Amino acid sequence: PTTRKVNGKALSADISLSASDVGAATAEQVNALKPKTATVTLTAAGWRKGEQTVTVTGILADSSAQIVDVCPANKPSADRWAAAGVWCTSQAANSLTFSCDSVPTEDINVNIRMQGVSA
């Protein structure tokens, strides 16, 4: 039926539909929502006034656009994390800031999972 159209495209020949034609996410949009992981080390020497900022490629400045989960990477790091009262206090573009109740005397390895949030 050459008088009919799909998304404004005449059916008189083969047509190509894009993701936007049918309201689907593009490959780039889908990839942005996939979880990404990283591991960083909070070094014993890196604490300044109870804070340490580490570089984490992929962290967004807008905390409402991304879910960020942090956890110690192993049992020794978990023990140090708990003993020092460490927690993640803020995020900025490609970085996370951690605070502590008492400065750890040994390095803490931290696993990070980040995932974009669909609008």
pLDDT on residue 73: 97
Which among 70, 73, 102 has a CA at the least distance from the CA of 89? 70
pLDDT on residue 20: 75
| Cα dist from 82 to 3, 85, 104, 105, 114, whole Å | 70, 5, 10, 13, 22
H/E stretch holding 97 reads strand 95-99
pLDDT (tens place) for every residue of the chain, 119 residues total: 667 877 778 877 788 877 777 777 666 666 767 899 999 999 999 999 999 999 999 999 999 989 999 999 999 999 999 999 999 999 999 999 999 999 999 999 999 999 988 76
pLDDT on residue 30: 64
pLDDT on residue 40: 98
pLDDT on residue 58: 93
CA-CA-CA-CA dihedral for 45, 109, 89, 63, to nearest 10: 130
pLDDT on residue 111: 98
pLDDT on residue 11: 79
Pairing of strands 36-42, 66-72: unpaired
H/E stretch holding 55 reads strand 51-55
Burial zone of 36 (CB within 10 Å; 0-12 exposed, 13-18 middle, 19+ buried): middle
pTM: 0.74
Pairing of strands 95-99, 108-116: unpaired
